[in-house]
Chain A
Amino acid sequence: MTTPDTAALDLTPAPGAAPFPRMVLAQAGAEVRATLRNGEQLLLTLVIPVLLLAGFTLAPLIDVGGGSRVAFLAPGVLALAVMSTAFTGQAIATGFERRYGVLKRLGATPLSRAGLMLAKTAAVLAVELLQVVVVVAVGLALGWRPHGSFAAAALLIVLGTAAFSGLGLLMAGTLRAEATLAAANLVYLVLLGAGGVMFPLSKLPESVRPALEVLPISALTGGLRTVLSGGALPLGALGVLAAWAVLCLALASRTFRWE
């Protein structure tokens, strides 16, 4: 198996960690590649949001409570896209990484846990950027004319990402991988139905509305809808997302089991 021309591998010890940014970038790149190569993940992050946006814009199946259907749907689908990557995709991927001993193995490299978490965050944001570009392009093609503060929309998306990542990592770090897979998909469906993504919360019974309004998906959907139609940044939505982010990330960092 050893051939003469390769026998001269210099094994002399020359230990040293790569610069921190290079490690984080390498890991983030690997995570993005893994996401884009995974068929089910792509279905969740791109295909479903685009189909929902195009399908329900073109077919008058839902009552959006007056106004342009695409103007109602596009912000909701953006929020859904953020949730699918930051929460569902990340929870499932991290759960299985834990199960396969990948997190353990990475723990034996110079990439620190903080570095790994930073890489995961960077990978999630990169995939989200791609999703936003695709969803916005499809929305514009369907006649969506967003107006308002894009910086406010970006802030909401970043906070939403933090909240959903916290929730996803909380699950991935404590449940078995199979349980995470099931629970992450279930939560995705429930939040898709109950979070004001496809139809306004005002269509739901008065009694459940206060509970639904504090869901992170409702806050993100409602917030994006407001700021992308010229409204001011809603502090309530911001507060809800910030509270979820702080609570879930703190809990996740306390309970996360790497093995």
Chain B
Amino acid sequence: MAMDSPAVEIIGLVKRYGCTTAVDGLSMRAARGAVTAVLGPNGAGKTSTVEICEGFREADEGTVRVLGLPPAAPALRPRVGVMLQSGGVPPATRCGEWLRLVSRFYARPLDVDALLVRLGLAAHARTPYRRLSGGQQQRLSLAAAVVGRPELVFLDEPTAGLDPQARHACWDLVTDLRAAGVAVLLTTHHMDEAERLADHVVIIDGGRVVSEGSPAALTGAERQLRFRARPGLALEELLNALPSGSAAKESPAGHYIVEGLVGPELLATVTAWCAAEGVTADDLRIERRTLEDVFLELTGRELR
């Protein structure tokens, strides 16, 4: 068993359902001991990809290796923790009983009570699954994914429907898993989650990888200057005053973005122009592009 094989390696993965192609030649890898986030709009092929890695579905084409093994290999079951997007627990089963049952399938499980406390579920240990809130159900699924002390954890939209406290508890756990040397592959459409947690972000759309890298590499070194002012200002004069290669736009109305070599000179030019226009720039700030900017650029703004 090669210890240097990545946690997950996917080459040319294709998955079709009838005549729809959900995954269309996707290749990516997730390193051991790191957090990899798969970002993508709904229907991008995230869940199909993860469920093939989990051994639930079969690939139509391509190669998938999980810890160096085919995803359905029985030897992977104790080594890989899984959190489904929803369900998976009998509705009448009590929260604590379910976690204890799952823990009994493993040789050296985490302490069930401590894990319940850690995820804020101790007070609900005797509550049937169906009477837990959506967020509590998610946390129980998360607990069940890690209770067996796996080397690799798949989390399919782990924070969907969680309140801010629960979201932070989940993020803390992912951070601690990483620190303990566990590889985590999670899907999300929360940019802040990917930006905060991931060592490596893979953006997928239409079943293909459209971009990947560390959050910093994806958002780039490029900075922007943003401010708010009354809508409809004439930008031509500003553009004339700026050094060539700069760009200025109003998007949406009343929100202005200036891109280019953002430095003292550019800032002076912008404020001088504002003075000439007789406007005060509100919320004037210089910032990096966010992952959300990158995501929308790559995957478009239209609703689907």
**Residues 87-121 of A contacting B (Cβ, < 8 Å):** 96-97, 100-102, 104-105, 107-112
A108 touches B77 (CB 8 A): yes
A13 touches B89 (CB 8 A): no
In the complex, residue of chain B having the shortest beta-carbon distance to the beta carbon of A23? B105
**Residues 129-186 of B contacting A (Cβ, < 8 Å):** 144, 146, 148-151, 165-166, 168-169, 172, 176-177, 179-182
Q: Mark B103-130, 1 if CB is under 8 A from A, else 0.
A: 0111110110011011110000000000
Partner among B54, B78, B86, B146 whose Cβ is within 8 Å of the Cβ of A11: B146
Is there a chain A Cβ closer than 8 Å to B268's Cβ?
no
Q: Which residues of A contact B144 (CB under 8 A)?
A: 105
Is there a chain B Cβ closer than 8 Å to A202's Cβ?
no
In the complex, residue of chain A having the shortest beta-carbon distance to the beta carbon of B141? A105
Q: Tell me, rounded to whole Å, the shortest Cβ–Cβ distance linking B67 to chain A.
A: 10
Q: Which residues of A contact B78 (CB under 8 A)?
A: 15-17, 110
Q: Which residues of B contact A37 (CB under 8 A)?
A: 92
Q: How large is the interface on B (under 10, 10 to 19, 20 to 34, 35 or more residues)?
A: 35 or more
Q: Tell me, rounded to whole Å, the shortest Cβ–Cβ distance linking B204 to chain A.
A: 22
Q: Which residues of B contact A22 (CB under 8 A)?
A: 104
Given contact pairs A26-B104, A104-B84, A110-B77, A12 touches B92 in the complex (Cβ within 8 A): no
Is there a chain A Cβ closer than 8 Å to B79's Cβ?
yes
The docked-state distance in angstroms from the alpha carbon of A115 to that of B79 is 18
A111 touches B117 (CB 8 A): no
B149 touches A108 (CB 8 A): no
The docked-state distance in angstroms from the alpha carbon of A9 to that of B149 is 11
**How many residues of chain A get a CB closer than 8 Å to chain B's CBs?**
38
Is there a chain A Cβ closer than 8 Å to B264's Cβ?
no
Is there a chain A Cβ closer than 8 Å to B294's Cβ?
no
In the complex, residue of chain B having the shortest beta-carbon distance to the beta carbon of A107? B56
Q: Tell me, rounded to whole Å, the shortest Cβ–Cβ distance linking A33 to chain B.
A: 8
Is there a chain B Cβ closer than 8 Å to A206's Cβ?
no
Is there a chain A Cβ closer than 8 Å to B90's Cβ?
yes
The docked-state distance in angstroms from the alpha carbon of A101 to that of B169 is 25
B106 touches A1 (CB 8 A): no
Partner among B90, B104, B180 whose Cβ is within 8 Å of the Cβ of A100: B90
B77 touches A100 (CB 8 A): no
Q: Which residues of A contact B179 (CB under 8 A)?
A: 11
The docked-state distance in angstroms from the alpha carbon of A100 to that of B96 is 18
Q: Tell me, rounded to whole Å, the shortest Cβ–Cβ distance linking A252 to chain B.
A: 21
Q: Tell me, rounded to whole Å, the shortest Cβ–Cβ distance linking B162 to chain A.
A: 11
A9 touches B105 (CB 8 A): no
A111 touches B111 (CB 8 A): no
The docked-state distance in angstroms from the alpha carbon of A105 to that of B99 is 12
Partner among B80, B93, B172, B181 whose Cβ is within 8 Å of the Cβ of A12: B181
In the complex, residue of chain B having the shortest beta-carbon distance to the beta carbon of A93? B90
28 residue pairs from A and B, CB less than 8 Å apart:
A2-B172, A7-B118, A11-B110, A11-B177, A11-B180, A13-B149, A13-B151, A14-B149, A15-B107, A15-B148, A16-B108, A17-B78, A17-B105, A17-B107, A26-B101, A27-B101, A38-B92, A96-B90, A97-B90, A100-B88, A101-B86, A102-B87, A108-B55, A108-B77, A108-B82, A109-B105, A110-B105, A259-B56
Q: Which A residues form the contact surface with B (CB < 8 A)?
A: 1-3, 6-7, 9-18, 22-23, 26-27, 30, 33-34, 37-38, 96-97, 100-102, 104-105, 107-112, 259
